[in-house]
Amino acid sequence: MKIRAVCIGEAARLDGVRHRTGIFKRPVAGPVQVGSEGFDGDHIGDRRNHGGIDQAVYIEGSISLDWWEDELGVPYQSGMFGENLVVEGLDNRMVLVGDRFVIGDVVLEVTSCRIPCNTFARRMEDPKFVRCYRQAARPGVYCRVIASGTIAAGQAIDYHRFEGTRVPLPEMMENYGRKLSPQDKARYLAAPVHWKLRKELERQAD
């Protein structure tokens, strides 16, 4: 695997969205610093639902994006889904919570899947895109930054599979908003899931 593109977004207005958004991301040349809160220069508008230490970096895999290119019938431009990184050779459907991407000195750990929102639908100019994205079952990948550093397009990636309990991202997206069984709840809590989901699950009665 390797980095196909590094993308960041400046603050921009989007019709129907009250806050300025950073969803309009564009590829950048040269190395970009990434720390616990994400990439330098990458705007996060709605900090209640986006960004933060467990959603610091958003990844889309090239295999999934090739599928979307065929599905949408238009050439895919890096950053179009608001991703920070496009990873060559990655299929989103295969990613587990806890998987790690090692890129030089940088270590990223998967925490959760992307849950599509109305801002995403407006950016895609399709009010039905939230449902379309969920039905596709190829969710984007949110990561926390375990070790900071710089990332540039073309860098090689060492991909380490999580050796603990399996929580696939398509399953996580399918279960979004549902109460889990005691067995599934225990499985999710045994993985390094996003802190908000962990807090929610800990509040749920078995």
The torsion region of residue 89 among left (phi > 0), alpha (psi -120 to 50) and beta comes to left
Strands 2-9 and 25-27: antiparallel
Residue 82, domain extent: 2-203
In the chain, the amino acid numbered 176 is: Y
From the CB of residue 154, how many other CB atoms can be counted at a distance below 10 Å?
A: 10
Type of residue at 109: E
The pLDDT mean for the chain works out to 92
Checking if the pLDDT of 206 tops 70, the result is no
- pLDDT 10s digits, 88-147: 999 999 999 999 999 999 999 999 999 998 888 889 888 899 999 999 999 999 999 999
- pLDDT at residue number 49: 67
CA distance 156 to 5: 12
**pLDDT higher at 6 or 127:** 6
Q: Which residue type is seen at 196? A: K
H helical segments located in the chain: 62-72, 118-123, 129-136, 169-174, 182-189, 195-203
Domain of 141, CATH number, reads 2.40.33.20
Cβ within 8 Å of residue 180, ≥6 positions away? 188, 201, 204
Does residue 14 carry a pLDDT above 90? no
Domains identified in the chain, total number: 1
Retrieve residue 170's tokens. 């398509």
**Per-residue pLDDT tens over the stretch 53-73:** 999 999 999 999 999 999 999
Question: Mean pLDDT across the stretch 170-174?
Answer: 96
